[in-house]
Chain A
Amino acid sequence: MKWFKQLTIAALIAVVGFSSVPASTPVATAASKLSGKIVINGSSALLPLTLQASNEFKKLNPKVKISASAAGSITGPQAVRKGIADIGAVDWDATKDVPGFKKFEGQVAHKVAIIPFAAVVNKNVTATNLTTKDLQGIFSGKIKNWKEVGGKDADIIVVNRTFGSGTRVNFQDKALDGTDFMSKGDNYKEVKTSGDMKSAIETTPNAIGYMDLAYVTDKMTAVKINDIAPTEANVINGKYKVWGYGYYMTKGEPTGATKEFIKYVQSTKFQNGSLKKLKFIPISAIK
């Protein structure tokens, strides 16, 4: 095992401060091996990446226990601030204000991946190349029928992520140029996670939604935006604009097992291996 020296309690207290008890406490064992528990919560887009990294990291550090959950990006830095998670996975830099969310004071953002996002439609939808203006119209509720954007005569079912989703923040910012979403209507529904979005798009005729590229399946269609297909190559060559960085947020600089886990996710080995396989893009791919 790659064993690391444990932090002293004094160092731990210095980092954590007095406001809360950390969810993970590196434990010094007789053999001074890296141990402790890491609690990760937040972005559902980043969950597959986090769990793959967890699986690999635990083989190198079997005494580190990792718990990972997802309920939308905003719950990541919230859980870190509340002291119930060590890492908040979030699809934007939560140390800065973004539309709808204020910055989280005292947290540190660690880039872990580039996430391409795609507008997706049910397999029965024939309009598969949409402009930014089309998307703005559809997601604001002004365009209600697929025939208005070159498709069949059928009502458009808009599936949106709930408030607090990082995918929603990125899609609104980069695909809709900040245009507001519709928020109610017979042909409008909201889902909590990327997994729920996938299910909704796959099973709802005439539906449109959005998700990170990793979640796209062959049971749906990822549409071109302004003639550009949502591919990793088009993100890297700068043609496709709907992407964002995925971040791990920590309360101050991370220590112990949390620090080593973040280092593993950022390592060349993981970035160029498993991360690419899961359809994310390494953070080094875009300078």
Chain B
Amino acid sequence: MQMKKAMVISMIAAAISASAVTPVFAQTAASKQAVQINQSNFFVNANPVSIRTIVDGGVTLASVRDITNAIGATLHINSDHTVVVKFRDNTLKLKVASKTLTVNGTATALQHPAKEVAYATFIEPAAFVQALGGTYENNTISVVELLDGAEHAIWANSSQLIVSNSAGEGREDFLVDAATGKYELLLASSDTSELVLSPDGKSVAYSDANGAVFTIELSTKQTKQVSTDSSIKNELQYSKDGSSLFFLQGDKSSVIAKVSLADGSVTKVLEDKVDYKGNLEVSADGKQVAFYVFKQPKVTADSNKDVELDDVAIDATGTEPQIYYYNTAAADNKPVQLTKDAADKVFLKLSADGSKVSYISVSADEASVGQLVTVDNAGKASTPSFADKDVYQLVQGGSKLYLLTADGNSTNAIYEIDSASGTSKLVQTVSDSASELLISSNGDIAALIDGQLVVSSQGKWKNITN
């Protein structure tokens, strides 16, 4: 993984307070003038830090030494009074009363000159931090090196996400701090399925190309093999009690099965000899499932005829994906078909009690407008919700559903729907380049935008990967 050595800001809103005020005289002023030195509250890499500040000409300047100490840089003052700060690959030079800041030998202009008060040098914090390769906003400094890219991500808990990126012939999965972007490698692998999170958020599971199933404890990063069963396993997901993993079995995803985490045994849940199931959903009690079935068009071709005649015909009539529901209590391997319409169907979500299925119905016409549809487990559909919106994605977050919909010319909207009451509210807007909405079980929101992971923090989006 190429780690880009850029840094971004953590946009935690910091309350600025002056805990101590010390009036001193600025030595460089033509006529001595009292200047108050304040002890101000900053956040450096999400940690609270006290940094001296002054206000000069209406502009807040911060202590070079205090920032330097807080981020772990080195500071040296040459005999000609040039202040030299070194941080990673960057070397900064500045002089008091000068509006020039030299960064790795290149001069850049400051809007306000550096100032010396009580033998300490003060500078515009934004320009100083950015010159060091960090980011600054509202007394918040971040010099965390961020992960480069985010192809896939899931919330692990409210403070961490698991971010996955391709790496060489395989993939790397990282635990990423939602506040700072600080990351650590969780798994480097070459032939594994995407990681799925346990209901308690403490472990993840995956299968390898041989079908074997493994779990990783997030706190210790200890990997444990839980099954040697070699069948192909698609769409692994934990049962709500965390005791087993459900999956679609076989290269054609024909069978719904589950593997016990206790002894690795595999049990078939549904074997109806129907191929190409997808989007498996399991109820909280683990006894009800819902899924799509993808049917193949009928192809007529006579292999005895001259190839040049192209005697082939494709009849796709009645092959639109349909949703099925199965209660294992029936034990008859006969799932109930819940939908019959010609619309495409994506993002299927089975309610925790198994009573209804919500999904995005994409109209069969060329407009391809997406609508939120709910159908009960007897096949009775509700009136489509958000009918005036083009709905792009449906995500489950705890007991709530979240929608990504069209909004303005350059934005999409995120709505939250209370599953119990059915009420909805606009939560936030996001760039229309957002490729995926990510919601934690606590309702924390993140999104993938142009291959970068952004997290919603107090109504604003902040990058936690490059």
Question: What residues make up the interface of A, taking CB atoms closer than 8 Å to B?
Answer: 1-3, 25, 27, 29-31, 33, 35, 39, 41, 47-48, 51-52, 54-55, 58-60, 62-63, 65, 67-72, 74-75, 78-79, 81-82, 84-85, 101-102, 162-164, 195, 214-215, 218, 232, 267-269, 272-274, 276-279, 282, 284-285
Known: A65-B364, A82-B310, A162-B303. 9 other contacts (CB 8 A): A1-B435, A31-B406, A39-B316, A41-B312, A62-B370, A65-B362, A69-B297, A70-B296, A78-B312
> A279–B232 contact, CB under 8 A?
yes
> A54–B301 contact, CB under 8 A?
no
Within the complex, what minimum Cβ distance (angstroms) separates B372 from chain A? 12
> A70–B434 contact, CB under 8 A?
no
Within the complex, what minimum Cβ distance (angstroms) separates B268 from chain A? 14
A268–B234 Cα distance when bound, in Å, is: 18
A1–B316 Cα distance when bound, in Å, is: 27
Residue in contact with B435 in the complex, picked from A2, A39, A68, CB distance below 8 Å? A2
A25–B345 Cα distance when bound, in Å, is: 20
Question: What residues of chain B lie closer than 8 Å to A278, measured between beta carbons?
Answer: 232, 251
Question: What residues of chain A lie closer than 8 Å to B369, measured between beta carbons?
Answer: 29
Task: Identify the closest chain B residue to A218 (Cβ).
Answer: B230
A269–B167 Cα distance when bound, in Å, is: 9
B380 on interface, CB distance cutoff 8 Å: no
Question: What residues of chain B lie closer than 8 Å to A285, measured between beta carbons?
Answer: 169
> A1–B434 contact, CB under 8 A?
yes
Task: Identify the closest chain A residue to B392 (Cβ).
Answer: A1
> B319–A59 contact, CB under 8 A?
no
> B299–A3 contact, CB under 8 A?
no
Within the complex, what minimum Cβ distance (angstroms) separates B348 from chain A? 11
Question: What residues of chain B lie closer than 8 Å to A82, measured between beta carbons?
Answer: 310, 312
Q: A82-B312, A282-B169 are in contact. Are A69 and B406 (CB under 8 A)?
A: no
> A70–B368 contact, CB under 8 A?
no
> B209–A71 contact, CB under 8 A?
no
A272–B368 Cα distance when bound, in Å, is: 31
B328 on interface, CB distance cutoff 8 Å: no
Task: Identify the closest chain B residue to A104 (Cβ).
Answer: B307
Question: What residues of chain A lie closer than 8 Å to B299, measured between beta carbons?
Answer: 41, 69-71, 75
> B171–A3 contact, CB under 8 A?
no
Question: What residues of chain A lie closer than 8 Å to B297, measured between beta carbons?
Answer: 41, 67, 69
Question: What residues of chain A lie closer than 8 Å to B230, measured between beta carbons?
Answer: 218
Q: A35-B368, A60-B435 are in contact. Are A55 and B191 (CB under 8 A)?
A: no
Q: Which of A25, A101, A273 has the most CB of B within 10 A?
A: A273
> B432–A29 contact, CB under 8 A?
no
Q: Which of B193, B300, B368, B369 has the most CB of A within 10 A?
A: B368
Question: What residues of chain A lie closer than 8 Å to B232, measured between beta carbons?
Answer: 277-279
User: Which 10 residue pairs of A and B lie closest in terms of their CB atoms, listed nearest first?
Assistant: A71-B299, A268-B166, A2-B435, A63-B368, A69-B297, A82-B310, A62-B346, A48-B251, A69-B296, A276-B191
Within the complex, what minimum Cβ distance (angstroms) separates B324 from chain A? 15
User: Can you list 19 A-B contacts (CB < 8 A)?
Assistant: A1-B436, A27-B368, A29-B368, A35-B366, A39-B316, A41-B312, A47-B296, A52-B253, A54-B294, A60-B435, A65-B364, A67-B319, A69-B316, A71-B300, A71-B301, A71-B312, A163-B303, A277-B207, A277-B233
Residue in contact with A269 in the complex, picked from B152, B298, B364, B433, CB distance below 8 Å? B152
Within the complex, what minimum Cβ distance (angstroms) separates A214 from chain B? 5
Residue in contact with A60 in the complex, picked from B171, B364, B366, B436, CB distance below 8 Å? B436
> B314–A41 contact, CB under 8 A?
yes
B278 on interface, CB distance cutoff 8 Å: yes
> A284–B169 contact, CB under 8 A?
yes
Question: What residues of chain B lie closer than 8 Å to A68, measured between beta carbons?
Answer: 294, 296
B34 on interface, CB distance cutoff 8 Å: no
**Chain B 266-288 interface 0/1 with A at a Cβ cutoff of 8 Å (1 = within):** 00000000011011000000000
Question: What residues make up the interface of B, taking CB atoms closer than 8 Å to A?
Answer: 151-152, 166, 169-171, 190-194, 207, 209, 230, 232-234, 251-253, 275-276, 278-279, 294, 296-301, 303-304, 307-308, 310-314, 316, 319, 344, 346-347, 360, 362, 364, 366-370, 390, 392-393, 404, 406, 432-436
> A72–B301 contact, CB under 8 A?
yes
Q: A48-B251, A84-B314 are in contact. Are A74 and B307 (CB under 8 A)?
A: yes
Task: Identify the closest chain A residue to B404 (Cβ).
Answer: A1
> B344–A272 contact, CB under 8 A?
no
A39–B315 Cα distance when bound, in Å, is: 11
Within the complex, what minimum Cβ distance (angstroms) separates A208 from chain B? 21
> A62–B344 contact, CB under 8 A?
yes
Within the complex, what minimum Cβ distance (angstroms) separates A207 from chain B? 20
Question: What residues of chain A lie closer than 8 Å to B151, measured between beta carbons?
Answer: 269
Question: What residues of chain B lie closer than 8 Å to A163, measured between beta carbons?
Answer: 303-304
Within the complex, what minimum Cβ distance (angstroms) separates A199 from chain B? 11
Within the complex, what minimum Cβ distance (angstroms) separates A18 from chain B? 18
> A58–B312 contact, CB under 8 A?
no
Question: What residues of chain B lie closer than 8 Å to A48, measured between beta carbons?
Answer: 251-252
A267–B165 Cα distance when bound, in Å, is: 12
A282–B209 Cα distance when bound, in Å, is: 12
Task: Identify the closest chain A residue to B367 (Cβ).
Answer: A29
> A273–B344 contact, CB under 8 A?
no
Question: What residues of chain B lie closer than 8 Å to A27, measured between beta carbons?
Answer: 366-368
Within the complex, what minimum Cβ distance (angstroms) separates A17 from chain B? 17
Question: What residues of chain B lie closer than 8 Å to A84, measured between beta carbons?
Answer: 312-314
Question: What residues of chain B lie closer than 8 Å to A60, measured between beta carbons?
Answer: 435-436
Q: Which of B193, B303, B366 has the most CB of A within 10 A?
A: B303
A14–B67 Cα distance when bound, in Å, is: 60
Residue in contact with A85 in the complex, picked from B166, B170, B314, B433, CB distance below 8 Å? B314
Task: Identify the closest chain B residue to A270 (Cβ).
Answer: B166
> A59–B314 contact, CB under 8 A?
no
